[in-house]
Structure formats: structure tokens, C-alpha cells
Structure 1
Amino acid sequence: MAFSQETIEQIRLATDIVELVREYVPSLKKAGRNWKAQCPFHNEKTPSFTVNPEKGIFHCFGCHAGGDVFKFVTLIDHLNWPEAVQKLAGRAGITVKETKEEIIKRSEKQKIFDLLELVANFYHRCLKESKSAAAPGYLNQRGVTNETIDRFLIGFAPRTALVPAALKKGYTHEQLIAAGVITKTERGSFFEYMSERVVFPIFDTQGRIVAFGGRTLKDEQPKYLNTPETAVYSKSAQLYGLNESIPTIRNTKEAIILEGYMDVVITHQCGVPYTVATLGTALTAIHARMLGRYCENVTLLFDADAAGRDATRRAIDTFIETEIALRIVTLPDGLDPDEFILKVNKDGFLSHCNTKGVPAVEFLTALALEKWGKSTPEAKVKAASEVMPTLARIKNNILRREWIKYLAEKLNTTEDALQAEYKRAQSPLKGRRVKNDENVSAAPSTGLRSPEEEILQILFARPELGSHVNDDVFDNERNKETYRLFASGIPASQIVAHLNDEDARWFTELLVEERNYANPEQVLSNVLRDVQLARLRRRRQKLEEEVTAMINGNIPKDEDKIRAYNELTKQLKGSVK
């Protein structure tokens, strides 16, 4: 989708980058001329994420993400460029008009979003107008109020009702298949995934419907069914209820992970609006990163049965390498979270989570001791071997030592013995390639910049000094092009949009580096002199090679070049006096 430059600049000027970033990163704090926080795009201990409000840009010295307000939104909300423009325009109250051609070119993804919204409203209307008591009766039995039904847009899918309704609206079977709501059988007929199920629309963090989950009202398996993955839906990258929970999670810095749709719906209804659920899949690193943008503490409530314990172990493996503090809670009497909170109300539910929640390592230690005991040396070895791989993945040395000490006490063994086991458990992890979702941290670059880069830093910090420089100063093409953009009067935040991703990362890092010049004009003069001297030295070196070849008789003598070489030699000697 094409947008006029005037519209883009109107949105950019209306968007304060600090205010925008703080909506996602409340911990952003002023640090001199910049603002700093832990990066929302990777896990780190030392804040290396920097925002420069004067330039309207951000840069992380750890993962090297960088750009302007539009780039920030595309990264934080997983949007493409047109979606980021539309989002920021809406945030600023600016109307972005689409031409007829732009409407025709609207992305296939947007068409799917539009269709899914229509389907969700259709299902919701079917529930509200249902002549059958089955679906409304089931929801009433589970304690779901009408207000909650409307809030979560819960619906019901009557058998064979959707396809005719969608076709009547002008949609095709192919579009319904692309949206993931129907599939074509081997017999050539069409099967609707949600047929005769209570339907829970699944929203992304932008509030767009991306898929559906359905609960059967019959005695059949599977009890719960999700629509398949599509161009807009990946179950490993979505958490049910997150869109509703984000405001509270940001404020409380805490999230509670549950197993099912109904768990989330009822806990929100009962006044705990920061619960989310996985979508029939194990917790993934993407899930952890998503939650890590908004919170510091996660409480995990999974079933106490064998399947629930396995899911909890996998979740611990996912979170253990992050900075998120994970606690595990087991509910009493085998109750599901929705049943438990309806029984004990909000205060009882939260009290149980606060008093019964245990850190991940304590949970694993208890399971290991329950399984193996500690009555024999062999039992202690087996129990330790179940916990040690998790300890080996804890990156904080102090935290890991404390947990090794805890495990030693529980096993009635020595810390030295467990430290030896830790080293053995750690060895398979050595040499493991660091992935994007692992803990990466780096301090701001303090390495030497090239003279040309230092000139650019001074010019962007003190634009009035631009008259001292022209593009002949630059030999490096990237530096030369960046200078030309500067000289044309384009602000730094706009220059980012002219660069590819690699150059944008370089540019934002260049600009957010702290350079405190007592006398910028004098520094610029010195650097320009250094650049000129470097050029003269390169020219002299080239001439020296040719003159040497002349002296050795390898090439004919050239008096002009010899004279130029001698003049350059004198000039360079004079320059260092």
C-alpha cells in the first residue's frame, strides 16, 4: 500500500517516540539526552536499548535492532509496513485515505482478517439467537455471564450454517479454506471445523481475529479443536486472552498461564484480568518473548496429572533461560482453574497462587524426590540428574549457585559434588549456537569510529556545522550517501526509512552513541584534517610504490610523478610539526 510522504511525516511528527516506546516498555528511563531500558526484543540483564527523542530513533546495542517509530511498531507488534502506518495513524487520530487502486491491492492477509471478523460475528449472533438451549445452557452451566460472552465474542456454530451465509456475502470456498474455517474432504464436500461447537475467537495482540477454538457439546473427541494454521495464524505465536490481558500485565508486571479457553474467560470474569492460555501446544520461546515484553513474573497453573507435569517441565525449559521469574502452582482436588476460582472467588484464587506457588527449581526438585527419593546414593544421583540439566541452563551465576545449594540441602549431599555434576551437565551446552531468543547482552559500542563516521556523528549532533563539510570528504559510499541525505535537510528519523535493515542498524547506533564534545567545531576541524592527511598518505604510498619501481628499473621514469611524490612527502612532514 502506498502512502504519500506528507501523510508519513504527519504521522511521524504526531508520534512522540518516547511515549510510544513507554507504552510497551514502561521501565524506559531518562539517561542524559537519551532514554534507556532493557530491550523488548531480546532478553538481557544490562539495559542496552536506547531511545533518542531528538532524532526520533531507537537502537539496541545488544541485538542491534534500530529504526524510527514505524520500525519499532513493525518489530514489537509483528506488523508489516502498511499495518504499522495504519496503527500509528489511528493512534494519532490521523485518517489515512486509500485510493481505489490501494483498496484493490489490499493484502491477502487483510482479506483473511476481514473474513474472520465476519465469521466471528456470525457465530456470536448464532449463539445469541440460538433456538437450541444446548450452547447457552452449557455456558450458563460453566458460569459464563452474558457480559463475558459479549466481551470475548463467544459464539456457536450451527451445523452447515456458515458456508451458505459466507457465500451469500460474496466470499468463495477458496477464501474460507484460506481463512482456515473450512476444509475440502476427499469426497469433494466441505467440512466446517467449528461445526456444532461453542466457539472462542482467538485474537492477536492487535485485537484482530486470527483463528477459532471450539468446544464440542457432544460426547466426542477431540473435546477441543482449533482451526488450522494459516497466513495469519501460528499457534506457537499466539496466547489466548493476551490481547485482553496486556493493559493489566503491563501494570502488574505479572501474567498467569492457564491451559484452556474457559479458564481464561472465567478468571477474567472473576476479576483476574491477566491470565492467558496456550492453544493446544507447548509453551514456546516465542510465547516467552511475547510475555517478556510486558511482564517480569509468570505463574504457571497446569493440571497435576502426568500430562500436566510434562507440560510444566517443558514450560520450565522454555522460561529458564529468560529473565522472567517463573512460579508453579498446583490446584487442589484436581479442580480446573475456572472451577477453582468460582468456588473460592478472586481473593481465594490469588491467595492460593501467592502462598502455594513455588519457583521452578523447587518444583522440579520435589518431583525428582517424589520419584526417586534420597534413601540411597543411587537415588540421589538419579534425582540430581533430573534437576541438574535445568540448573545448567540458568545464566545468572549467583542464582545458579543458590539453587545448587538448595538442591544439595534437599538431597543431603555436598555443594561440591553437585558443582561437579553441574559442569558435567553443562558440557553438552558448550558450543551451542546462540539463537535470537536467548539471553544476549552487549554494552554500547565504545570502539573507535572511522573519521568519516565521526564527522557524521558531529553533523547530526550539530547540524549548523554542515557548512564546513561537503560530500568530497567521504570515500565510503554508505557514509557519502548518508551525508547527502543529511545535506538535503532530511531529519534523522526520515533518513532511517531510506536505508536497508543493515544500514539502518548501523545508522541508529551511530546516532545514539554518547559523544560529549566540549568544542564540536574544533573536533570537526581536527577530524577533517585527519581525513585529508589520510588521503594524502594513501596517495603518497601509491606514488612511492611507483617511484620505487622506477628506481629499480621496472618501469620508465616519470619526472612528474617523482616531483609529486617529493612535494607530498614535504607536505606530510610539515603537517606533523
Structure 2
Amino acid sequence: MIVSSRIPQAFIDEVVTRTDIVELIDNHVSLKKKGKEYAACCPFHNEKTASFTVSPEKQFYHCFGCGAHGTALGFLMEYERLDFIEAVEVLAQQHGLEVPQDETNFVKSDHQNLYILLEQANLYFQKNLRQHPHAIDYLKNRGVSGEVAAKYDLGYAENGYEYLLKQFNNSATQEQLIEIGLIKKNDKGSLYDRFRNRIVFPIKDRRGRVIGFGGRVLDDAVPKYLNSPETPVFHKSDALYGLYEARKSNHTTKALIVVEGYMDVVALAQHGIDNVVATLGTATTSQHIQQLYRCTQEIIFCFDGDRAGREAAWRAAQQTIPLFTDGLETKFLFLPQGEDPDSLIRTRGKEIFLQYVDEGDSLSTFIFSKLSEDIDTRTPSGKARLAQIAKPLLEKFPNGVFKRLVFEELEKKVGAPIHYNTSALNNTKPAVPSNNKATPVRLAIAALLHQPSLALDIGSIAHLEICSLSGVPLLTKIIKIWKLEPSLSHAALIERFRDRPEEQQIQKLMTWSPPELAEPKQALEDALSWIERKTQTSRVQELIEKESTDGLTEDERQEFKNLLHQKAS
């Protein structure tokens, strides 16, 4: 990975220019055409009326509700929780570009070597699978084809203690293998392979980098499933097996099915259901839910129908409630006793499994069903008890239409009004007022942002380069950039100022539309004339003050005469 200052600016310009921000955002949020722009409900705060707009002309998004705004890179950073480098790499990958790496200035992140080592181990396990027929036969007997095995990069760890260890005999590398959990050290200090005689499932992050592994034994050894331990790059609380592959297979993921095991994901993919992910032997966390909702508007939890499965479903529901904003959907399906997705789809087929999916309980149905257990809701005391335990839980829903409807449903069930807290966990952000006062300098910058070609009509900017007025240095930079690179997009211009003090000012002015901008050329000319007069007046005053103290040089006297002549004319 490269630090941002080492990525050539020309490459950042290229990536941003090639990206259509409308297409990028539409893959995550459903946009609708509205005049020259596109609109949607903001993905960054809860709202009922669409105030989130995307401009194809400026390649810029802005929410008039919460104030979120930015370029394609900014959207990825905010929506996908990526840093700048990761966002550049994602866009570069989409366009088939490789981020330039200047070896003299190349700086690796703290974890880059770990990612490289994990990928090398992944390739080693895949090679092993191809060389061991009994491992291939195991997968075939489970109904897994070579095509699906290749899609998920399945591999095989040999039945021995030093096979992987011997592939990396450098002591420094072996220390890193311990750090990423592929090698263990016993009490005597001897090293040995963690995964032995197992089908290996590489676990990837949302960018497709291997972060850990899961292993399934081929015999009756225990444990049946084994995961990588917690490492600097692998955290079970937010890792989801198959998420990268699901997103890669489904350009716009309508729904994601959450199952409990690796083989469930692979088995469903074998039958053409590839929008499936698995938690890694841990309870569903809020981090899991957030990741899923960043990829889809509907989550379908699939659990075994036994008591343990229903308890796991209830924990998932409790994690979902605080994140369940209007427009999202969550369902719960429970399989017959003794069945899991792998066994069900292999014995009864795809159509039966999808029937279970269609008949799954909605989030509210599951909640009321769970809360009503062991309560006789036919009696007044039972209804009162239901209201007592339901109210604090339902208040955790974000404010919105769904929260109001679910309380109405509770009121129908108990036959009495329920007064609930509407401020709890309210994630609706107040509208952001505009404080862009129509000063000439701001108008000049806004006019250029509105019509960049105007920069080509500006003559000498020498007076701007010596002007001390606030905002003029930024105006000067923008004029210079667009004079030299008239085809540079708005988005690429903004990226020139990323992490600089001027960045926020440009982004705010990008969406500013005062009446004066109805005629951007006239607004720019008037603003530049005002700045020039103001600069001349300031310089005259400066020379007058110097004359009274130190006196003027011959050049300064001539400059003073010229300025007075210009002011008179």
C-alpha cells in the first residue's frame, strides 16, 4: 500500500476522471433522475424525503439535509469506511489500472507484508488441493464442482506438522506466520502448522485481500471447523465469509442471506444462490450488520430450527434493531430440525430452499413472536406484560416510519396506547444551514466552479498573487489549475485539495447557488474587478503610510502615481 503523498497526482486525476459518480453511487443507493441531477434518500442519515443529490456534470454528491458531500473517492471513503489509499485502489481496480509504485518512495503499511504472506499461503493451499485427489474427492462427494471451488479459492492443508512451515524457512517470515495464525509454537518452542488435513477456506475482506482462513477436517477429528485466531488483520467480530464473492457476483446485491458455515455458502453457490455470506462461528455483531447494510437493503438470516438456532436469531435481531432505518428489510428463516442449508439444498433442491426464504418472518413478526413466548396475551395482565417488555426494546429503533408502525402494531396487540420516546437513538441529522455570504471572492470561486472554462478568459493575475484578501490565494490556485488543465473535472480539482484547509471551502461552494450565478461570466468579471480595486486601494494606503515614515523609493513613487491614475480612470 502506498501513502497518499506518493501516488502521482496525475494518476489520481485519471482514476477520478474515468469514474462515473452516478454509476458508482447507484450501485449502493437507488438514484432517480431529477432534472439535470439524480436524487435519493441520503445513505448517511435517516430521512423521509430525498435530499441527497448527485451531479453528473460536476461528478459530485451533496446532501442538503446533513451536509455530506464529496467526490467518488469521498463517497467510497464514507460509505465503505475506506481510507484514501484504499478508495483509490478500489476505483483503480474497477478500471483495470494498477496504482503506480515508485520504488524510491514506496512505503508499505504496517500490515502489507502480512497480506502478502496470507496470499502466498492461499496460493500454496490451492496448489495442494490440485495435487491431492482424496481432497478433491471429498469436495465432489459434497457436491462441490471444480468451478465453485475455484470461485472461492478453496485449498487443502496436508496432514502433517511442517508442510507449510517448510515453505517459509526464513526466521523473520516464520515470526509473521505466527502473527497471522498459520503457525503455532508449543511449550517447548517448536513450530508446527495450525491447519492439517483440512479443506481450507480463505476469508477475504471487502477488497478481496485474504485476511484469514477456515479449515474443515476430512475425517472425524475435532474440532470439525477451525478458524484463524484474532490477528492484526483478522477480527471475527466483523469478518464475513463470502461477502467479497457475493458482491463480485452480484453487481447490485438485492439481498444477502446470512448462514452459519463455510460449506453452507459453497453449497448454495453450487446451486446458483451466490448472494450468501457466513459468520465465522461467532454471534452476529453490530459490525456484521453494518457491513451487510452497506452492501444491500435486505438481510435474510438463515438459522437451524432448534433452540440454539432461535437463540442465535434473537441475538441477531437485537443487534439489528438500532441500525434498522426506514427502507431496510430483515427476515428470519428457520430450517427443519436437523437440517442446515448445505443438507437441505442437496437433498430437497433449490426451489424448496427458496420457498423457505420467501416464507421467512419479517423483523417485527419475529420480535413479537419471541416476546410473546410464555405470555398469555389474551389476558389483561399478559397484554400489560408484553407492553412492559416490548417498549424499551422497540424504543431502540431509529426514529422514522417503521418505528411508528411497529409501536402501532404493539398498541393493537395490547389494546391500549403506548407512549414512547421519540428522541432515543435518533440518527436524523438537522438540516445544515448555509453560511456562504455572497462576498466577491466567494462569488468568483463559485462562478469558476459553475463554469470552469471562464478561467481561460482571465488575463494577468499578477494583482491576485499579491492580494492579501481572504480567499484570494485559493481563487488564484484554481485559476492557475484550470488555465493549465482546462479539461480537468470538478472532482479531480477537489482531489487536488484533499486534506488541505481549502478542501471544505471548495466543496461547500460547489453546491452554492446565489442569484448572481445566473450569469456566471458577469459575476466573475464583477468580482475580479472588485478584487482589483480593493487591492489597489490597499496598496495605495500602504504606500501613503510608508511615505510618512520611511519615504518611498523611486520605483514606489512611480507605482504610486500609476495606481492613482488607474483609480482616477
TM exceeding 0.5: yes
Residue 476 of structure 2: aligned partner: 484
Cα 1:364–1:215 change in 2 (3 A) is: same
1:254-313 CA-to-partner distances (Å, cap 9, x unmatched) read 111111111111111111111111123333333333322332222111233333333322
Cα 1:84–1:402 change in 2 (3 A) is: closer
Residue 183 of structure 1: aligned partner: 184
Residue 498 of structure 2: aligned partner: 499
Asked whether the equivalents of residues 438 and 514 of structure 2 are also in contact (C-alpha less than 8 Å), the reply is no
Distance in 2, matches of 1:483 and 1:51, equals 25
Partner of 1:35, secondary structure, is strand
Residue 520 of structure 1: aligned partner: 520
Which of 19, 29, 34 is equivalent to 1:15?
19
Partner of 2:372, secondary structure, is helix
Residue 566 of structure 1: aligned partner: none
**Larger RCO: 1 or 2 (CA < 8 Å, sep 6+):** 1
Partner of 2:112, secondary structure, is helix
Residue 149 of structure 2: aligned partner: 149
- Structure 1 residue 473 displacement after superposition: 6.9
Residue 205 of structure 1: aligned partner: 206
Distance in 1, matches of 2:257 and 2:312, equals 15
1:542-574 CA-to-partner distances (Å, cap 9, x unmatched) read xxxxxxxxxxxxxxxxxxxxxxxxxxxxxxxxx
Residue 307 of structure 1: aligned partner: 308
Cα 1:461–1:245 change in 2 (3 A) is: same
Distance in 1, matches of 2:61 and 2:269, equals 35
- Structure 1 residue 447 displacement after superposition: 4.8
Distance in 2, matches of 1:404 and 1:144, equals 46
Equivalent residue letter for 2:22: V
Distance in 2, matches of 1:415 and 1:401, equals 15
Cα 1:89–1:262 change in 2 (3 A) is: same
Residue 462 of structure 1: aligned partner: 451
- Structure 1 residue 63 displacement after superposition: 5.6
Once the two structures are superposed, the pairs formed by residues 292-303 of structure 1 within 5 Å of their partners are 292-303=293-304
Partner of 1:12, secondary structure, is helix
Cα 1:471–1:50 change in 2 (3 A) is: farther
- Structure 1 residue 33 displacement after superposition: 4.0
Aligned residue pairs, count: 518
1:330 and 2:334 aligned:
yes
Asked whether the equivalents of residues 197 and 217 of structure 2 are also in contact (C-alpha less than 8 Å), the reply is yes
1:193 and 2:197 aligned:
no
Residue 127 of structure 1: aligned partner: 129
Cα 1:46–1:16 change in 2 (3 A) is: same
Q: Tell which deviates more after alignment, 59-68 or 249-258.
A: 59-68
Cα 1:367–1:138 change in 2 (3 A) is: farther
1:506-546 CA-to-partner distances (Å, cap 9, x unmatched) read 432320345563333555577789999999xx9xxxxxxxx
Asked whether the equivalents of residues 157 and 199 of structure 1 are also in contact (C-alpha less than 8 Å), the reply is yes
Q: Tell which deviates more after alignment, 366-375 or 522-531.
A: 522-531
Distance in 1, matches of 2:501 and 2:360, equals 44
Cα 1:42–1:51 change in 2 (3 A) is: same
Residue 380 of structure 1: aligned partner: 383
Cα 1:102–1:165 change in 2 (3 A) is: farther
Cα 1:251–1:73 change in 2 (3 A) is: closer
Once the two structures are superposed, the pairs formed by residues 152-163 of structure 1 within 5 Å of their partners are 152-158=152-158, 159-163=160-164
Once the two structures are superposed, the pairs formed by residues 72-471 of structure 1 within 5 Å of their partners are 72-101=75-104, 105-130=107-132, 133=134, 135-136=135-136, 138-158=138-158, 159-168=160-169, 172-217=173-218, 219=220, 221-247=222-248, 249-251=250-252, 253-320=254-321, 321-323=323-325, 324-354=328-358, 356-410=359-413, 413-416=414-417, 419-420=418-419, 422-423=420-421, 430=424, 439-441=427-429, 443=431, 445-449=433-437, 451=439, 452-463=441-452, 467=458, 470=464
Q: Name the one with the larger helix percent.
A: 1
Distance in 2, matches of 1:7 and 1:400, equals 46
Distance in 2, matches of 1:16 and 1:401, equals 38
| TM-score, reference length from structure 1 | 0.78
- Structure 1 residue 87 displacement after superposition: 3.9
Cα 1:148–1:95 change in 2 (3 A) is: closer
1:37-62 CA-to-partner distances (Å, cap 9, x unmatched) read 34455555444443333334334455
Distance in 1, matches of 2:19 and 2:412, equals 55
Distance in 1, matches of 2:347 and 2:256, equals 21
Partner of 1:333, secondary structure, is coil
Distance in 1, matches of 2:245 and 2:351, equals 21
Distance in 1, matches of 2:509 and 2:233, equals 35
Residue 37 of structure 1: aligned partner: 40
Cα 1:117–1:448 change in 2 (3 A) is: closer
1:111-138 CA-to-partner distances (Å, cap 9, x unmatched) read 222221221222223233226x4x4555
Partner of 1:21, secondary structure, is helix
Partner of 2:203, secondary structure, is strand
Asked whether the equivalents of residues 198 and 217 of structure 1 are also in contact (C-alpha less than 8 Å), the reply is yes
Cα 1:350–1:100 change in 2 (3 A) is: same
Asked whether the equivalents of residues 28 and 296 of structure 2 are also in contact (C-alpha less than 8 Å), the reply is no
Residue 542 of structure 2: aligned partner: none
Equivalent residue letter for 1:512: T
Equivalent residue letter for 1:482: L
Distance in 1, matches of 2:251 and 2:376, equals 41
Unaligned runs of 5+ in 1: 539-577
Residue 508 of structure 2: aligned partner: 509
Partner of 1:172, secondary structure, is helix
Sequence identity (%): 33
- Structure 1 residue 197 displacement after superposition: 2.8
Cα 1:459–1:242 change in 2 (3 A) is: same
Equivalent residue letter for 2:148: T
Cα 1:415–1:36 change in 2 (3 A) is: same
- Structure 1 residue 336 displacement after superposition: 0.9
Asked whether the equivalents of residues 236 and 287 of structure 1 are also in contact (C-alpha less than 8 Å), the reply is yes
Q: Tell which deviates more after alignment, 90-99 or 304-313.
A: 90-99
Partner of 1:195, secondary structure, is coil
Equivalent residue letter for 1:363: F
Asked whether the equivalents of residues 40 and 50 of structure 2 are also in contact (C-alpha less than 8 Å), the reply is yes
Distance in 2, matches of 1:292 and 1:449, equals 38
When the two chains are superposed, the root-mean-square deviation of aligned CA atoms in Å is 3.7
Residue 25 of structure 1: aligned partner: 28
Q: Tell which deviates more after alignment, 80-89 or 281-290.
A: 80-89
| TM-score, reference length from structure 2 | 0.79
1:53 and 2:53 aligned:
no
Cα 1:475–1:363 change in 2 (3 A) is: same
Distance in 2, matches of 1:255 and 1:513, equals 39
Equivalent residue letter for 2:331: R
Partner of 1:482, secondary structure, is helix
Residue 568 of structure 1: aligned partner: none
- Structure 1 residue 485 displacement after superposition: 1.9
Residue 561 of structure 2: aligned partner: none
- Structure 1 residue 472 displacement after superposition: 6.9
Cα 1:48–1:165 change in 2 (3 A) is: farther
Cα 1:401–1:28 change in 2 (3 A) is: closer
Asked whether the equivalents of residues 65 and 505 of structure 1 are also in contact (C-alpha less than 8 Å), the reply is no
Distance in 2, matches of 1:192 and 1:450, equals 68
Equivalent residue letter for 1:101: T
Distance in 1, matches of 2:72 and 2:373, equals 52
- Structure 1 residue 372 displacement after superposition: 2.2
